[in-house]
A and B are shown apart, each in its own frame.
Chain A
Amino acid sequence: MGRAPPEFPCLTDMDPDRISYLPGHVIDQILSHLSIKEAVKTSVLSSKWRYKWATLPNLVFDNQFVSAAVQDHMIVKNKLLRTVDHVLLLHSGPINKFKLSHRDLLGVTDIDRWTLHVSRKAVKEFVLEIWKGQRYKIHSCLYCCQSLTHLELFNCWLKPPSTFKGFKNLTSLDLQHVTLAQDAFENLISSCPVLERLTLMNFDGFTHLNIDTPNLLFFDIGGKFEDISFENTFQLAVVSIGLYVNFEINQSRLRGGYSNLLKFFVNLPHLQRLEIQSYFLKYLAAGIVPINLPRPCIDLSYLSIRINLNDLKEISAALCLLRSSPNLQELEILARQEEQTLTITHNYCWEDVFFSCPEMHMRNVKIDGISGIKPELDFISFLLLHCPVLERMTVIPVSNMGTELMKQLLRCRRASRQAEIIYLDP
C-alpha cells in the first residue's frame, strides 16, 4: 500500500529542531503549563516562535506574574497594567480563560477595558479577584457575555442592567465578598438555566435566598441570610451551608406549624453530602422539629453538623436528620462553643430526646470539641447503641479533660463489635 507524500516536514528529516513543528494546539498545551511570563518569553527563541504564544487559550495574571522582587506598589501596579495591555493586544484568537488576581491590583478602571476586550473574544472562564479596597463595580459589558461558563468574582459589586437576561451557558458561579441587590440576585440565579455549581461567600445586599435553578448539583454558601429555600432543585447532590449570624428565633413567627427543617428538605430529594455549619442548625431547628422527615434522605451518605450540644432543640433536629438518613455512612459532629452565658441543661428526660430509632448504618463517626457535658455523653452513647456496623468513632475533646471523659466513654455500651473508639488529644 503506497503512502501519500508527507504534507509537513517528516520528523525523520535531518532538521533537529523538532519542537517547532509540533501542531499549534500541542504548542498551546505546552505553553499553557508555563506562566504567562515564561510563555511570552518564548517569542525570542526563534523566528518560528515569535507568535506561538499569541494563541494561548488561558491568560492568567496573578501574583507569580509580576516578580515580587520590586517592592514599590506603584511600580508593580504600573508594570502589571502595561503588561496586561500588551499581552491582550498581541494575543490572537479566542480566549478561553482570563484570570486577574494580583495583590497590587486595586480597582483600576483599566479592568473595564480588559473586561470588554475579553468578552469580545468569547471568553469562557472569567476570574477577577480584587484583593484590597472597595468593591469593584463590574462593567456592564460582562453581563452581555454569553460565552461564559465559569464566573468567579472576589470583592466585586454586581449591578446587572435591567436588560440582563442571564448567562445562558454559565455552569459555575463563584461569588465571594460581593454586593448584589436582592432582586438582581434572584434574577441572576433563575436566569442561568444550566448552572451546576454555585458558591456564595460573605455577600451583602440580599438576605432571602430562593434558589431556583433546575440543574444545580453543588451548592456552597456561607454568609448572613434570613431564610433559604430551594425550588426545582431536584438534582442537588452536595450542599454546604454556613449561617454566620446567630439569629434569634423570632417568637412572633411561631404561629402555625412552620418548620424550617421540613421546608429545607422538601425539595432536596437526592442530597448526597450535607454540611451544616455555623448557626445553620439553629436556623433549621426553629419552629417544629419533626421526629422524622416525611421523605427519607436515601442518598445521603455524608453528614457534617456544627451543633450546640447544650441546645436540646438542635439535638432534636440532628437526631431527626439521623433517623431520616438510612444510608448514612459517615457522620461528623462539631461542637459549637457558645459563650458560657447559656444554661447548661442538666434536667431533661433522656428518653424524650433520645428515643429509639431504626438502626443507623454509619461506619465512621467523628465528634470534635467535646467538653464533657451530659448531653454530649448522651449523644455519644446513643450513637454507640444504635450503630451496629460502626467501625470507628473518633472523639476529640476541646481541651485537656483529664480522665473523666475517658472513663465515661469506656462505660458506654456498643452495638458494634468492631467499633474502635479513638480518643485524640486536643
Chain B
Amino acid sequence: MSETDLAVIKPEMMKPYVWLQTSDDSIQQVEQEIAMFCPLICQEIIQKGMGSSKNCAICLPQQVSPAMLSLILDYCRFHQVPGRSNKERKSYDEKFVRIDTERLCELTSAADSLQLKPLVDLTSRALARIIEGKTPEEIRDIFHLPDDLTEEEKLEPLRNITADPRIRLLNRLYAKKRKELKERERLKNVEVEEEHVDDRSVDDLLSFINGNDGDPKGVKTSKNKKKNRRKKEQQKNSSLKEASELNKKEVNGHDIRHQSSEAEIISETSYLHYAEDDAFTSKPEFDDGDIDDEIDPALKEKIDREVEDFARRLNSDWPERMQELLSSGQERKTVLFTADGFIRRHA
C-alpha cells in the first residue's frame, strides 16, 4: 500500500502488535494494548524495548504455554475495556475459572509468572474454593497428589502433640514408673512414721564410698548377721533389685527421695525387672523392725556411689569422670547416657 493509502486507513488497523514467544518456542503476534495488561510484558516492552519484531520477540516464562497465553489474553481483552460494570466483570470472572483443576493450576502458574495479580487472585480463590470442605482423600484425588506420608506422619496436626508413637510409649512408661513410685512412697511413708531419723553424719555415710567394705562405723554390730544375709540377697538378686529395695529401707527422708529420683531415671528394663521383683515378697523374711532400723552398709555404699555418680553426671565433668572410672579399683557399673536420654546400665 502506498503511504497515502495508509493514511486513509482507519486507526484501528494500525494498532501496534508485539511478538511473544511461548514455552514451546512458537512466536505469535498480539495486540500491544492487550499484552501490556500483563506487567511483565509491559516491563519488557518499555524497559528493554523488546517485542517489536519477530526477531526480538519477548520470551515469556516457562509456565506460559500457547494455550495458557490464549486464556490469559482473553482475560486481558475483557478486562482492559474500561466501560464494564463491576457486575459484568464479576460474572465474567466466575465463568472464566470454570475450567478443570489441572488447567486452573497451570493458569495460576502462568498468570503468576506474568505478574498478573488480579488473575492470580481470581485463580487462587477458585482453587481455595475447591479445597475447602473436602476430605484429604478427595483433595488428593482432585489434584493427583501422591499419598506418600506414612500413617505415623498423617497425624491430625491439630491434635495432641503426644500423638507421636514414641512419645506415647514414653508417656506410658513414665506413667507406669510414677505409679510404682507412688506405691513405694506410700509404703515407705507407712514405715517412716514408725521410725526414727537416721542421725549419722553425711561424712560417715560418705566414708563408705572410699572403699571401706568392711564393718563401717556406727553400724550396730548386732546386725552383722542380718548384714550377711542381706549381702547374700544382694548377690542373688540383680543389682537393680537392690536399688528398688533401698527405697523401702529407712535411710533418711532426703536420701529416699534422692533414691526415688535415682530410681526414676533407671532404664526401662530395670523397671520391668522391678515389676517382677520379689523384693516385696522377700521382705517378710526379715524382722520388720530390723530392716527399718539400719542400712545395710554395702547397700548404703551402693546408694551413695550412685548418688555421687548422678551428681557428677549433672555437672558434666566428663574428663574427670573418665579418669575416676578408669582408676577406680572397685567393681563399678558404668552408667552412660544414650542418645534419647535414658540412662542405661552396662555391666
Contact = CB atoms under 8 A, between A and B. Distances in A.
Range, interface on chain B: 35 or more
A10 interface: yes
A18 B106 contact: yes
B57 A1 contact: yes
A49 B128 contact: no
Contact of A23 (B112, B129, B149): B112
B145 A3 contact: no
B124 interface: yes
Given A26-B109, A46-B148, A47-B148, A18 B124 contact: no
Which of A30, A43, A47 has the most chain B CB atoms closer than 10 A to its own CB? A30
Interface in A364-390: none
Interface string A22-52: 1101100111111001101111111111100
Interface in A1-27: 1, 3, 6-8, 10-12, 16-23, 25-26
A357 interface: no
A22 B149 CA distance: 20
B98 interface: no
Interface residues of A, number: 41
A41 B157 contact: yes
Contacts of B155: 44
Contact of A45 (B105, B139, B160): B139
B118 interface: no
B158 A38 contact: no
A82 B156 CA distance: 14
Nearest to B133: A38
Given A1-B59, A16-B102, A29-B121, A46 B145 contact: yes
B287 interface: no
B145 A17 contact: yes
Chain A CB count within 10 A is highest, among B102, B109, B131, B148, for: B131
In the A-B complex, list the 10 residue pairs whose CB atoms are closest, starting with the nearest: A33-B128, A16-B144, A18-B105, A29-B124, A46-B145, A30-B124, A19-B105, A19-B143, A6-B62, A17-B144
Interface of A: 1, 3, 6-8, 10-12, 16-23, 25-26, 29-34, 37-38, 40-50, 82-83, 86, 90
Given A29-B120, A29-B124, A45-B136, 7 more contacts: A3-B25, A23-B109, A30-B128, A33-B125, A34-B128, A46-B145, A48-B145
Interface of B: 21, 23, 25, 57, 59, 62-63, 65, 101-102, 105-106, 108-109, 112, 120-121, 124-125, 127-129, 131-133, 136, 139-140, 143-149, 153-158, 160-161
